[in-house]
Structure 1
Amino acid sequence: MTALRAHAPRMARADRVAMILDAAHDAFTQGGFEQTSVAAIAARIAVVEGTIYKYFDSKRDLLLAVLARWYRRLLEDGEALCTPDGNPVDTMAGLIRLHLQAIHDEPLLCHLMFREFRGAGDYEGSTLHQLNRRYTGLLTRVIRDGMDDGSFRAQLPVALLRDTIYGAIEHHSWHYLSGRGALDVEPTAAALMDLLLQGIGTSRPAAPH
């Protein structure tokens, strides 16, 4: 009598998606977006290419999902820093350090984020855009909290200060993101906080006319 072949149990959808995202993350960060095929991602987890398309419409959709998962984790870490009784100065320093550490730990993923999505025509209003607004909104809230409790000067241009902080971090990190040079998280975070809190002038200059 022929023995019946045992079938492996079907994988839950969430587990299958997580496996695909793990494989896609590794493939995109190791080989780049353009050079990576969906077939190559499927081969990493020993499934056929069609299995990937059951869950994701395209390779770009798959990259979006990888980036969104990373952003959600980053957002969770940022929210954990923003406790109701936290000191705004310490919280701002923590958020700056968190952003620098994220770039340090995932340079190729951040490079893809900045190059592939943020300047694209479909970025505005996308899931990734909404996550970015929530994430940068943490810093906006901390700035306002600091203005309210006297930690920061009153009537600061909140949006400009937020953009100055994230813009400085990303500009400073660009060589590292491009595979050139290093990124020292702690000294960079400390230097940026010192600039923010102390300013660059020995006295307040007259406003230009």
Structure 2
Amino acid sequence: MSSAKPARVHAPRLAREQRVDEILLAARDLFCEKGYELTAVAEIALKLGVVEGTIYKYFATKRELLLKVLEYWYEEMFGDYARDLAGQSSHRARLHLLIWRHLRSVRDFPRLCRLMFREVQSEHDYRGSLLHDLNRRYTQLLVDVIEAGIAGGEFRADLPAPLLRSLVYGGIEHHSWAYIMNATVKNGRNVCGRGALDIDSLAEQLTTLVCEGIAVRHSHPSSAPIRGEDIPRGASA
């Protein structure tokens, strides 16, 4: 009777790309649930059922892992923008789509937004990084839509598109700041003591605000300036 021990069964080794994707998703879940500072690399490993050293095999530091999580998130946000924007019937509709999608990202991933605004953008390793480039490409989509609207005669040409980009994204960040700072995860969902973020209404309101300000105005006889002698007696100018 053979006394040979049965062959040891090893868990199948994952391809590098698949393993990296799993680490990034697990890290994102925990960063969103607990925050970056309170999440230990060991917890990410535990969530995946691997030893802590496995994480460091792919990411030298926790900070590098955070930057890669945000890069992965930005790449997801790009999605099928080219196809979806082309499917819109007007420049206003394309602008609305970009605003709505950005608001959806804020609503669904407030803690990632908080990390981006507070932990990353103010640090020395952000400028010139891949994440910085992704952010510029992401916001450039809105500039391109506005410039196309200008070229098509739908939007005014005297207002610089980069300024409007800052108005939109800066306005969204400011308006949603309380939501971003107070959002927590409960039963897998983002909740906030300051109320929910109504992205449908906000997207429509912000799109209207921007488009009403940059729409080309066509002169009509009825819109001619009122002269002093045209003002009825008793009315104030």
2:14 is the counterpart of 1:11: yes
Aligned to 1:41: 44
> Does the CA contact (< 8 Å) of 1:20 and 1:52 recur in 2?
yes
The secondary structure found in structure 2 opposite 1:35 is: coil
Q: Structure 2-normalised TM-score? A: 0.80
Q: Deviations over 1:91-131 (max 9, x none)?
A: 00100000001101111111111111111111111111000
The alignment's C-alpha RMSD in Å is 1.8
The secondary structure found in structure 2 opposite 1:146 is: helix
Amino acid at match of 1:148: A
Amino acid at match of 2:134: L
- Distance change in 2, residues 1:177/1:85 (3 Å): closer
Separation in 2, partners of 1:22, 1:197? 37
Separation in 1, partners of 2:38, 2:11? 33
TM-superposed deviation, 1:156: 1.9
Amino acid at match of 1:43: L
Separation in 2, partners of 1:187, 1:86? 20
Which one has the bigger helix percentage? Answer: 1
Structure 1 unmatched ranges of 5 or more: 204-209
Identity of aligned residues (%): 50
Separation in 2, partners of 1:86, 1:126? 35
Match of 1:195 among 185, 206, 209: 209
- Distance change in 2, residues 1:29/1:174 (3 Å): same
Match of 1:25 among 25, 28, 48: 28
Q: Deviations over 1:117-169 (max 9, x none)?
A: 11111111111100001001100000000001011112321111110011111
- Distance change in 2, residues 1:176/1:76 (3 Å): same
Match of 1:186 among 176, 180, 200: 200
TM-superposed deviation, 1:85: 7.5
Match of 2:171 among 165, 168, 172: 168
- Distance change in 2, residues 1:177/1:148 (3 Å): same
Separation in 2, partners of 1:175, 1:77? 30
Q: Deviations over 1:29-50 (max 9, x none)?
A: 1111111111111111111111
TM-superposed deviation, 1:5: 2.3
Amino acid at match of 1:160: L
The secondary structure found in structure 2 opposite 1:63 is: helix
Match of 1:128 among 128, 131, 137: 131
Q: From the CA coordinates, give the structure whose radius of gyration is larger.
A: 2
Q: Structure 1-normalised TM-score? A: 0.90
Q: Deviations over 1:64-103 (max 9, x none)?
A: 1111001001122433333288521110010000000110
Structure 2 unmatched ranges of 5 or more: 183-193, 214-222, 224-237
> Does the CA contact (< 8 Å) of 2:31 and 2:39 recur in 1?
yes
The secondary structure found in structure 2 opposite 1:178 is: helix
TM-superposed deviation, 1:12: 0.9
Separation in 1, partners of 2:83, 2:108? 19
Match of 2:105 among 96, 102, 105: 102
Aligned to 1:58: 61
Amino acid at match of 1:183: L
Residues paired across the two proteins, number: 201
> Does the CA contact (< 8 Å) of 1:82 and 1:138 recur in 2?
no
Amino acid at match of 1:198: E
> Does the CA contact (< 8 Å) of 2:27 and 2:69 recur in 1?
yes
TM-superposed deviation, 1:10: 1.3
